[in-house]
Chain A
Amino acid sequence: MTDERFTFTIDGAAVSARPGQTIMEAADEAGIYIPRLCDHEGLRHQGSCRVCTVKAAGRSVAACTQPAAPGLEVESEVPHIHALRRNLVEMLFHEGNHLCPICEASGNCELQAMAYRLGMIEPTKFPYLEPTRAVDATHPDIALDTNRCISCGRCIRASEDVDGKGVFGYVGRGIHRRVAVNGIDLAHTDASLDDHAISADVCPVGCIIRKRVGFSVPIGERDFDHQLIGEAVQGKRR
Chain B
Amino acid sequence: MRQVSLVETRDSPELIAAEACAAVGNDRHRLLDILLTVQNRCRWISPAAIDEVASALGLTPVAVRGVASFYAFLSLEPKGRVIIRLCDDIVDRHAGYSGVLAAFEEELGVRLGQTTADGGISLEQTPCIGLCDQAPAAMVNDIVLTSLTPETARRAARALKSGRPPRDLVSPQFDSLSAHERVRAAVANNIRLAGNVLLGEVPREAGLRRASAMAPAQIIASITASGLRGCGGAGFPTGRKWDMAAREPAARRFVICNADEGEPGTFKDRVLLTERAHLLVEGMTIAARAIAAREGILYLRGEYAYLRDHLDAVLAERRAAGLLGGAIMGVTGFDFDIRLQLGAGAYICGEEGALISSCEGLRGEPRTRPPFPVQRGYLGLPTVVNNVETLCHAARILDRGADWFFAMGTEGSHGSKLFSVSGDCSAPGVYELPYGVTVRELLELAGAPDAAAVQVGGPSGVMIARDSFHRRLSFDDLATGGAVIVFSGARNILEIVDYYLSFFVHESCGYCTPCRVGNVFLREAIRKFRNGHANAQDIEDIRSLSATIIETSRCGLGTTSPNPVLSTLAHFPLVYSAVTKPMGDGLQATFDIQSAIESARGIARRRSFVFDRDFSK
A92, B517: Cβ atoms under 8 Å?
yes
- Residues of B57-74 whose CB lies within 8 A of A: 60-63, 65-66, 69-72
Determine how close the nearest CB of chain A comes to the CB of B539; give it in whole angstroms: 13
B62, A182: Cβ atoms under 8 Å?
yes
Residues from chain A with Cβ under 8 Å of B62 in the complex = 166, 168-169, 171, 180-183
A50, B505: Cβ atoms under 8 Å?
no
User: Given that A151-B510, A180-B65 are contacting pairs, would A174 and B521 also be in contact in the complex, using a CB cutoff of 8 Å?
Assistant: no
A170, B363: Cβ atoms under 8 Å?
yes
B363, A65: Cβ atoms under 8 Å?
no
A39 at the binding interface (Cβ < 8 Å): no
Closest to B510 in A: A177
A127 at the binding interface (Cβ < 8 Å): yes
A48 at the binding interface (Cβ < 8 Å): yes
A182, B61: Cβ atoms under 8 Å?
yes
A196 at the binding interface (Cβ < 8 Å): no
B511, A48: Cβ atoms under 8 Å?
yes
Complex CA gap A182/B517 in Å reads 25
B514, A177: Cβ atoms under 8 Å?
no
B70, A87: Cβ atoms under 8 Å?
no
Contact of A53 among B65, B511, B552 (CB under 8 A): B552
Residues from chain B with Cβ under 8 Å of A173 in the complex = 69-72, 346, 363, 508-510
Binary B-proximity of A116-158 (CB < 8 A = 1, otherwise 0): 0000000001110100000000000000000000010000000
Residues from chain B with Cβ under 8 Å of A88 in the complex = 513-514, 548, 552
B553 at the binding interface (Cβ < 8 Å): yes
Closest to B538 in A: A125
Determine how close the nearest CB of chain A comes to the CB of B316; give it in whole angstroms: 34
Residues from chain A with Cβ under 8 Å of B518 in the complex = 91
A47 at the binding interface (Cβ < 8 Å): yes
B445 at the binding interface (Cβ < 8 Å): no
- Residues of A171-194 whose CB lies within 8 A of B: 171-177, 180-184
B172 at the binding interface (Cβ < 8 Å): no
Residues from chain B with Cβ under 8 Å of A50 in the complex = 512-514, 552-554
Contact of B368 among A65, A151, A180 (CB under 8 A): A65
Closest to B509 in A: A173
B524 at the binding interface (Cβ < 8 Å): yes
A62 at the binding interface (Cβ < 8 Å): yes
User: Given that A48-B554, A95-B517, A170-B363 are contacting pairs, would A176 and B510 also be in contact in the complex, using a CB cutoff of 8 Å?
Assistant: yes
Binary A-proximity of B504-542 (CB < 8 A = 1, otherwise 0): 011111111110111011001000000000000000010
Residues from chain A with Cβ under 8 Å of B541 in the complex = 125
A67 at the binding interface (Cβ < 8 Å): yes
A182, B60: Cβ atoms under 8 Å?
yes
Contact of B517 among A51, A94, A171, A184 (CB under 8 A): A94
A172, B551: Cβ atoms under 8 Å?
no
Complex CA gap A175/B508 in Å reads 8
B509, A47: Cβ atoms under 8 Å?
no
B200 at the binding interface (Cβ < 8 Å): no
B66, A170: Cβ atoms under 8 Å?
yes
Residues from chain A with Cβ under 8 Å of B584 in the complex = none
Determine how close the nearest CB of chain A comes to the CB of B598; give it in whole angstroms: 14
A84 at the binding interface (Cβ < 8 Å): yes
Determine how close the nearest CB of chain B comes to the CB of A84; give it in whole angstroms: 5
User: Given that A50-B554, A88-B552 are contacting pairs, would A174 and B516 also be in contact in the complex, using a CB cutoff of 8 Å?
Assistant: yes
Complex CA gap A188/B541 in Å reads 45
Complex CA gap A129/B505 in Å reads 14
Complex CA gap A174/B348 in Å reads 10
Residues from chain A with Cβ under 8 Å of B203 in the complex = none
Determine how close the nearest CB of chain B comes to the CB of A13; give it in whole angstroms: 23
A60 at the binding interface (Cβ < 8 Å): yes
User: Given that A94-B517, A174-B505 are contacting pairs, would A49 and B548 also be in contact in the complex, using a CB cutoff of 8 Å?
Assistant: no
Closest to A53 in B: B552
Residues from chain B with Cβ under 8 Å of A125 in the complex = 541, 590
Residues from chain A with Cβ under 8 Å of B516 in the complex = 95, 151, 174-175, 177
Closest to A38 in B: B513
Contact of A175 among B63, B510, B551, B590 (CB under 8 A): B510
Complex CA gap A181/B72 in Å reads 21
Closest to B553 in A: A50
User: Given that A67-B370, A84-B551 are contacting pairs, would A126 and B521 also be in contact in the complex, using a CB cutoff of 8 Å?
Assistant: yes
B545 at the binding interface (Cβ < 8 Å): yes
Contact of B69 among A49, A126, A172 (CB under 8 A): A172
A45 at the binding interface (Cβ < 8 Å): yes
Complex CA gap A151/B511 in Å reads 8
Closest to B60 in A: A166
Contact of B521 among A49, A65, A91 (CB under 8 A): A91
Complex CA gap A169/B61 in Å reads 9
B60, A177: Cβ atoms under 8 Å?
no
- Residues of A34-83 whose CB lies within 8 A of B: 45, 47-51, 53, 60, 62, 65, 67, 83
A171, B510: Cβ atoms under 8 Å?
no
B548, A174: Cβ atoms under 8 Å?
no
A87, B548: Cβ atoms under 8 Å?
yes
User: Given that A53-B551, A127-B521 are contacting pairs, would A172 and B70 also be in contact in the complex, using a CB cutoff of 8 Å?
Assistant: yes
Residues from chain A with Cβ under 8 Å of B507 in the complex = 174
Residues from chain A with Cβ under 8 Å of B60 in the complex = 166, 169, 182
Contact of B511 among A94, A171, A177, A183 (CB under 8 A): A177
Residues from chain A with Cβ under 8 Å of B47 in the complex = 184
B509, A174: Cβ atoms under 8 Å?
yes
Complex CA gap A94/B517 in Å reads 9
Complex CA gap A56/B485 in Å reads 36
Determine how close the nearest CB of chain A comes to the CB of B344; give it in whole angstroms: 11
A48, B513: Cβ atoms under 8 Å?
yes
Complex CA gap A175/B509 in Å reads 8
Residues from chain A with Cβ under 8 Å of B70 in the complex = 172-173
Closest to A88 in B: B513
Complex CA gap A53/B507 in Å reads 23
Q: Which of B69, B552, B554 has the most CB of A within 10 A?
A: B552
Determine how close the nearest CB of chain B comes to the CB of A8; give it in whole angstroms: 16
Determine how close the nearest CB of chain B comes to the CB of A200; give it in whole angstroms: 23
B66, A171: Cβ atoms under 8 Å?
yes
- Residues of B65-105 whose CB lies within 8 A of A: 65-66, 69-72
Residues from chain A with Cβ under 8 Å of B508 in the complex = 173-175
- Residues of A11-47 whose CB lies within 8 A of B: 45, 47
Complex CA gap A84/B512 in Å reads 14
- Residues of B544-585 whose CB lies within 8 A of A: 544-545, 548, 551-554
Residues from chain A with Cβ under 8 Å of B513 in the complex = 48-51, 88, 91-92, 95, 151
Contact of A169 among B65, B346, B511, B590 (CB under 8 A): B65
Closest to A59 in B: B551
Determine how close the nearest CB of chain A comes to the CB of B554; give it in whole angstroms: 6
B368, A45: Cβ atoms under 8 Å?
yes
Determine how close the nearest CB of chain A comes to the CB of B234; give it in whole angstroms: 16
Complex CA gap A181/B66 in Å reads 10
The contact sample of 16 A-B pairs, CB cut-off 8 A, is: A47-B512, A48-B511, A49-B513, A60-B551, A87-B552, A91-B514, A91-B517, A95-B513, A95-B516, A127-B521, A170-B363, A173-B70, A173-B346, A173-B363, A174-B510, A182-B62
Shortest beta-carbon contacts, A-B, top 8? A177-B510, A169-B62, A182-B62, A166-B60, A91-B517, A174-B508, A50-B552, A171-B69
Query: Which chain A residues have a beta carbon within 8 Å of chain B's beta carbons?
Result: 45, 47-51, 53, 60, 62, 65, 67, 83-84, 87-88, 91-92, 94-95, 125-127, 129, 151, 166, 168-177, 180-184
Query: Which chain B residues have a beta carbon within 8 Å of chain A's beta carbons?
Result: 47, 60-63, 65-66, 69-72, 346, 363, 368, 370, 505-514, 516-518, 520-521, 524, 541, 544-545, 548, 551-554, 590
A87-B544, A88-B514 given; name 6 further pairs at CB < 8 Å. A48-B554, A67-B370, A171-B62, A172-B70, A177-B516, A184-B47
